[in-house]
Every structure is written in C-alpha cells, then in structure tokens.
C-alpha cells in the first residue's frame, strides 16, 4: 500500500518480493510498480559518510529512489512541509514527483541508491537555488 510522505503526491512504494531458500528477488515494471514509463536508470554509490547529495529540485521529472544495498536518509520538501525518510529496504521505493527539493545524506558503508527516472538527463530541468525553488513552489 502506498504511503504518502508529502502533500504533492510523493510517496513510499512497496515492491514485490519473491523469497525462497535461494534468497530474494524484486522486480519493477514501468507504469505497473513505478507510476511512469522508465526512461533512465542511474545509481549512486561509494558516498562518504559525511557527504550530502541532491540539494536541488526538478521542474518536470518523476523519480523513484531505492536503497538496493545499505541505507541512507532523504530529506524532502515541497515548499510547504519537510520530512525525512530513511530508505533501507530493496523492496521499498521513494517516489518523488512535483516540485520536490531533495537532500540525501547519512549513506551507510556499501549503500547503493538506485534511481528510476521518467525522462532523460536534462541539466536545464534542475532547480539548484533554494530561494528559487520556494518561489516556484508558490506559483505551481
Ligand atoms: C536526483 C538525485 C536523487 C549525468 O551526466 N547523467 C545523469 O543521468 C545524472 C543523474 C547525472 N549526470 C551527471 C551530472 C553531474 O555532473 O553526474 C554528475 C553528478 O550528478 P549530481 O551532482 O546531480 O548528483 P546528485 O546525487 O546530487 O543528484 C542525483 C540526480 O542528478 C538528481 O536528478 O534527483 O540524484
């Protein structure tokens, strides 16, 4: 069952998990387990403990973040409220939609953040300035 984390539609998603004596398998199908067609996949790893990643929003991009190994925290903000989610399970994803500021920190050793994205990489879609993000969130 999807659990809302922000009013803008960002939410935690539960994925299928098939476990037998050989271990576990989770699969994700675009538009089925993830609410968009997947155009891009990337992963973030080898992050030193004291480093922060993200610190931006996207104007028009949906993404799902999954801790496929280890754990990390994601602080998210839709311009009205801010919350922190800990991702630590390969069968759970954090769906980020709308204009959502994100900061990822406290990566554990060997943490891997898999990201599924609704579109190709576009530097122009990034909002790096927090004041600009707040201004945009008031008009959207
Ligand atoms: C996001 C969070 C969760 C590419 O060339 N192609 C890509 O698809 C991506 C994602 C990045 N890059 C380049 C751009 C930078 O030169 O890789 C470098 C590092 O990217 P960035 O500093 O944006 O990484 P993070 O971890 O701060 O942010 C990333 C995503 O960029 C962003 O969309 O939401 O992960």
What is the DSSP track for 87-107? E--TTEEEEE-SS-EEEEE-P
Average pLDDT, stretch 88-98?
97
Going by alpha carbons, the residue nearest to atom 12 of ligand 1 is 121
Reported as a single tens digit per residue, the pLDDT across 51-79 is 999 999 999 999 999 999 999 999 999 99
Q: Mean per-residue pLDDT for 23-33? A: 96
Q: Which residues are catalytic?
A: 56
Residue of minimum CA distance from atom 25 in ligand 1: 54
Three-state secondary structure along 30-44? ECCCECCCCCEEEEE
Does the structure show a pLDDT above 70 at 1? no
The predicted pLDDT at position 140 comes to 77
Query: Average pLDDT over the chain, rounded to whole?
Result: 96
* pLDDT > 80? residue 27: yes
């Amino acid at each position: 069952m999807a659990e809302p984390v922000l009013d803008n539609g960002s939410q935690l998603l539960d994925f299928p998990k098939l476990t037998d004596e050989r271990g576990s398998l989770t699969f994700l199908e675009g538009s089925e387990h993830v609410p968009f067609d997947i155009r891009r996949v990337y992963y973030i790893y080898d992050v030193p403990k004291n480093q922060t990643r993200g610190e931006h929003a996207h104007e028009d991009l949906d993404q799902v973040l999954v801790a496929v190994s280890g754990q990390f925290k994601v602080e998210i903000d839709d311009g009205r409220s801010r919350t922190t989610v800990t991702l630590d399970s390969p069968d759970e994803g954090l769906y980020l939609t709308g204009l959502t500021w994100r900061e990822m920190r406290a990566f554990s050793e060997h943490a891997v953040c898999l990201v599924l994205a609704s579109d190709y990489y576009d530097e122009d879609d990034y909002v790096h300035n927090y004041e600009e993000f707040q201004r945009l969130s008031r008009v959207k």
